[in-house]
Amino acid sequence: MYDYYFEITDENCGLRVDKLLAVSCEGLSRSYIQKLIKDGKVLLNGQVCKASTVTSEGDRVLLYAPEPVTPDILPQDIPLDILYEDGDVIVVNKPKGMVVHPAPGHYSDTLVNALLYHCSDLSGINGVLR
């Protein structure tokens, strides 16, 4: 779990809690911060607050962000319409409606799952061979 603690000064007072955290917490998007606020993971002076709450000098903001979970992206034998392929490149005709990248709520039946199966030496997300 990541903990972020901020004491509001005259330099950063007057900002909404979600905006303050979005500019102060590198790597956390404003929409993710808003979700954490809604889930009660952000406290203003020890109390759960709303995203729209405006900070004042002397306020204390504490954010509890759970460790990010990186899901296993598994190869799946999904038929691909391959237009061209050589040792460096593959061109596919992606079917309409097929999700490209795994995302929350949709970790399977994606183009990435199919490519991982078809190209067995392809690395996963953020790998060198992508």
Question: What integer pLDDT is reported at residue 81 of this predicted model?
Answer: 97
DSSP state of 66: P
Per-residue pLDDT reduced to its tens digit, 16-39: 999 999 999 888 888 889 999 999
- Rounded to whole angstroms, the Cα distance separating 102 from 115 reads 12
Residue 124 in this model has a pLDDT that exceeds 90: no
Give the sign of the dihedral formed by CA 29, CA 35, CA 41, CA 44: positive
Token pair belonging to 10: 């005259």
The CATH superfamily of 2-65 is RNA-binding S4 domain (3.10.290.10)
pLDDT grade for 40, boundaries at 50, 70 and 90: very high
Statement: the pTM of the whole predicted model exceeds 0.85: no
Question: What integer pLDDT is reported at residue 127 of this predicted model?
Answer: 56
- Residue ranges, CATH 3.10.290.10, the chain: 2-65
- Rounded to whole angstroms, the Cα distance separating 58 from 13 reads 8
- Rounded to whole angstroms, the Cα distance separating 88 from 84 reads 11
Q: What's the rounded mean pLDDT across residues 94-114? A: 89
